[in-house]
Structure 1
Amino acid sequence: MQASTTHLVLIPSYNPGAVVYETVASARAQWAPVWVVVDGSTDGTAEQLQRMAAEDDGLEIIVLPHNGGKGAAVLHGVERALARGFTHVLTMDSDGQHDAAMIAHFMQTSAANPDGMVLGVPVFDDSAPSIRVKGRKISNWWANFETLGGGIGDSLFGFRVYPARVLRDVMQGSVWMRRFDFDPEAVVRLAWRGVRPVNVPTRVRYLSAEEGGVSHFNYWRDNKLLTWMHTRLFLGFVLRLPLLIWRRLAGR
């Protein structure tokens, strides 16, 4: 497999357990290069991932000394990617939820829409917790409200391709977007910059504990974080409303 010089797979990882090795191997079977940003993990996975990378030129492991959150890990990877000449990054979770078989399709879609963001729209099976499926509808509604009907298929699903430069610029201009609030806030702020969403349905599975599934989602803490995030975004939406209306009328 010839390594891409423009698009890379970026996997932020924090204490995912052994399932990360299958995730990374699956991603590498579909694409090169694949970078993993180990976000201060304490479960020993960094060492095994580094051993995998020592035998695989298409895999690179970046180990951060402290846990800064998903968004902070992605930003670190994006800044490094831009310094190395890459233009786009596909983000996916390390916990085995995302379908690596869709990587090539997402990358092709991105190449055909280089100024857009390719957003995965999850197709759930019976493994998905009902509270997660229903709860995300609230965030999706707010994300589309805050972008004046921007066409965001799913605001929370982390399997997506970003244009790297505009994502970096947006994140560097904000003190937020560093933890669980990264995915929905990034997509709204990119839409405010005129980055068009391209929605692609893709399967998602939630691994049970017996299958090695690990979840760091905390219902009360993370929903409180999302509520504060959407409060900020609503205020930003009000300030940008004239621009958003102008774009809508101009067909942009």
Structure 2
Amino acid sequence: MVESSTHILVIPSYNTGRILERTIAEAIAVWQPVWLFIDGSTDDAHETFLANPDRWPGLTVFVSRENRGKGATALWAADEAIRAGFTHMLLMDADGQHPADRVADFMAASIAQPEATIMGQPDFGPDAPWIRLAGRQLSIALTQLETLWGGIADPLFGFRIYPVEPLRRAFARTDSGRRYDFDPEAAVRLFWAGVRPIKRRAAVRYVPRDEGGVSHFHYLRDNVTMVCLHGRLLPAFLLRCFRVVQLSRRFRRQATEDSSSG
């Protein structure tokens, strides 16, 4: 287990159920501090952490009675991290999809290159639902266009480390990206702000229901959300196209240099 004064592990949760306890146990075994943000949950799964804090060293629980959405919760976490003096946060899903055994490697990459966003590039297994894989292709393609193939990883995979100050600035002038659309919007806006994306591989596990797996994904609603997101981002991309060309060239050159030196 690694303790840090600069990098925090943040886990947003909404009605995750019994798998939440396993996710938290795996997280605090590899990294501390861990912050759990309860986003209007009604399943009371987080009560065990509040009732037995001594069993969960390194864990702090933040509770919102209102369901704000993942993006709003992530930005709330960024505000709290800034106030507490942390510079970076790794977002990890509470539902068991993200691999705790990759946390230390991601954190090490961020410590080595603190100016960057460390983005998980997912490795899907045979348990991945085909409808989830098919539905993400349009958003991937549009995000690549909006960043001119400058090195963004899968924009819908939320296992990533953000430098918190640039993240907060990127969303300071917009009210969008507060829910399911947060992950791709954050990736694009940070790229536009000149924050370099660095990809790291990470396995994805879709936990079956009999092991406590839960999903709040809604195919129609969430894909409409993605269409609306890119309807906002594409005109903004056209207004800053020249700068995006420059950033894309720079980041691709840096990636090539890293590969050569590695």
Which TM-score tier does this pair reach, normalised by the shorter chain?
Answer: over 0.9
- C-alpha distance in structure 2 between counterparts of 1:234 and 1:248, whole Å: 16
Corresponding residue for residue 104 of structure 2: 104
Change (3 A) 1:174 1:54: farther
Cα distance in 2 for residues equivalent to 1:12 and 1:2:
21
CA offset digits 1:8-56 (Å, max 9, x no partner): 1000000000101000100000000000000010001121132343433
One-letter amino acid of the structure 1 residue matched with residue 227 of structure 2: T
Give the structure-1-normalised TM-score. 0.96
Tell me the distance in 2 between the aligned counterparts of 1:249 and 1:120.
21
Q: Equivalents in 1 of 2:202, 2:246: separation in Å?
A: 33
Structure 1: gaps spanning 5 or more residues = none
Over the matched positions of the two proteins, sequence identity in percent amounts to: 45
2-structure distance, mates of 1:193, 1:210: 43
The runs of at least 4 aligned residues of structure 1 exceeding 6 Å deviation read none
Q: Does 1:137 align with 2:134?
A: no
Q: Is the 8 A contact 1:140 1:152 kept in 2?
A: no
Mapped partners of 1:53, 1:102: distance in 2: 25
Separation of aligned partners in 1, 2:57 and 2:209: 32
**Shift in Å, 1:2:** 5.3
Q: Which residue in 1 is equivalent to 2:177?
A: 177
3-state SS in 1 of match to 2:68:
coil
The match for 1:190 is: 190
Gaps of 5+ in 2: 255-262
Distance 1:123 1:72 in 2: 27
Q: Which residue of 2 aligns with 1:124?
A: 124
Distance 1:27 1:17 in 2: 16
Distance 2:123 2:192 in 1: 26
Q: Which letter maps to 1:58?
A: G
Aligned to 1:232: 232
Contact kept, 8 Å, 2:16 with 2:214, in 1: the verdict is yes
TM-score (norm 2): 0.92
Per-residue deviation, 1:164: 0.6
Evaluate the alpha carbon distance shift between residue 2 and residue 196 of structure 1 in structure 2; reply closer, same or farther with a 3 A threshold: closer
CA deviation map 1:98-147 (0-9, x unaligned):
11010000000111111100011111111100111122222111111001
Q: What letter is aligned with 1:78? A: A
- Deviation of 1:173 (Å): 2.0
User: Equivalent residue of 1:142, what SS?
Assistant: helix
Residue deviations 1:46-87, cap 9 Å, x none?
Answer: 211323434334000000120000011111111001101000
Does the Cα contact within 8 Å between 2:7 and 2:87 map onto a contact in 1? yes
